[in-house]
């Protein structure tokens, strides 16, 4: 099952000063790094307890979509208050828990740990490239938003259909598309911060976290399908 929808409101204004932009970017990077801790804890708990093992097909889809959209709605409502950060970290724990089913499947391969580290390294590489590009590209990329959103919706619909179809080829196609769309979304979201279009670091962190988790999940799915070695 892939992927959570990049449903952040991108109706930006561009009035932030350079100092404000740097502060939002700095706080976003710190919170993004912090958000990975609950994600890892959630994934570890899910693998260790097998709590998500039975959540296949429709049940897993309902739990995932209900939890993800519920958390994203709560984050948008609390992003300007002290509750925003704990709610965001709760969401990242939930996402780690939901990711644990795929991680457990990949760990079933002889080279599972290597595949996970490769997916992590690949995701970090994509983020580094997009962060570098966002700081040097001068062009306004705000027009990309609507096309990327359409792409994300198409990927989500394709992922939901494939939960019931169970096509390996479909999973590969969806994963490749997701890597492309959410890598571009990463550049788009970073550029909004750099240009001063996003002034709330909690919203910015949520947007980038969704980009990162989707790229990682899709890379892991591809590596598991193409490179998983059975004992």
Number of domains in the chain: 1
Q: Tell me, yes or no, whether 9 lies in a domain.
A: no
pLDDT digits (tens, 9 = 90+) for 25-37: 999 999 999 999 9
Give the pTM: 0.87
Q: Which of 138, 222, 113, 135 is nearest to 178 (CA)?
A: 222
Q: Does residue 2 lie in a domain region?
A: no
Is position 100 within any domain? Answer: yes
- At residue 38, the 3 state secondary structure works out as helix
In a domain, 3, yes or no: no
Provide the residue range defining the domain that includes 173.
18-227
In a domain, 4, yes or no: no
Q: Which helix (H) or strand (E) holds 13?
A: none
Look at residue 44 and tell me if it is in a domain. Answer: yes
Q: Which residues of the chain have pLDDT under 50?
A: 1-15
Write out the two tokens for 223: 């590596």
For 106-126, the pLDDT digits (tens) are 998 889 899 999 999 999 999
User: How far is Cα 221 from Cα 122, in angstroms, rounded to an integer?
Assistant: 13
Record the tokens describing residue 82, joined without a space: 């002290």
Instruction: Give SS3 for 138.
Output: coil
- Helices 201-227, 168-195: axis angle to 10 degrees equals 150
Is 11 within a domain? no
Within-domain flag for 5? no
pLDDT in tens, 208-225: 999 999 999 999 999 988
Nearest to 159 by CA among 147, 169, 174, 181: 174
Q: What pLDDT, on a 0 to 100 scale, did the predictor assign at position 206? A: 95
């Amino acid at each position: 099952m892939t992927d959570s929808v990049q449903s952040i409101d991108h109706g930006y204004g561009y009035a932030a000063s350079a100092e404000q932009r740097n502060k939002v970017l700095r706080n976003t990077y710190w919170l993004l790094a912090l958000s990975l801790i609950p994600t890892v804890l959630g994934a570890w708990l899910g693998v260790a307890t097998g709590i998500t093992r039975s959540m296949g097909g429709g049940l897993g889809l309902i739990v995932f979509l209900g939890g993800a959209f519920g958390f994203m709605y709560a984050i948008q409502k609390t992003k300007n208050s002290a509750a925003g950060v704990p709610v965001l970290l709760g969401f990242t724990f939930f996402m780690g828990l939901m990711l644990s089913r795929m991680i457990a499947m990949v760990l079933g391969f002889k080279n599972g740990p290597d595949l996970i580290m490769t997916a992590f390294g690949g995701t970090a590489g994509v983020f580094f490239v997009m962060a570098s590009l966002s700081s040097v590209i001068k062009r306004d990329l705000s027009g990309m938003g609507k096309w990327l959103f359409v792409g994300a919706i198409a990927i989500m619909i394709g992922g939901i259909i494939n939960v019931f179809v169970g096509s390996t080829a479909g999973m590969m196609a969806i994963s490749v598309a997701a890597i492309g769309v959410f890598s571009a979304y990463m550049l788009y979201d970073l550029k909004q911060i750099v240009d001063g279009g996003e002034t709330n670091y909690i919203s910015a962190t949520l947007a980038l976290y969704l980009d990162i988790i989707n790229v990682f999940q899709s890379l892991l799915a591809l590596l598991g399908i193409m490179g998983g070695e059975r004992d």
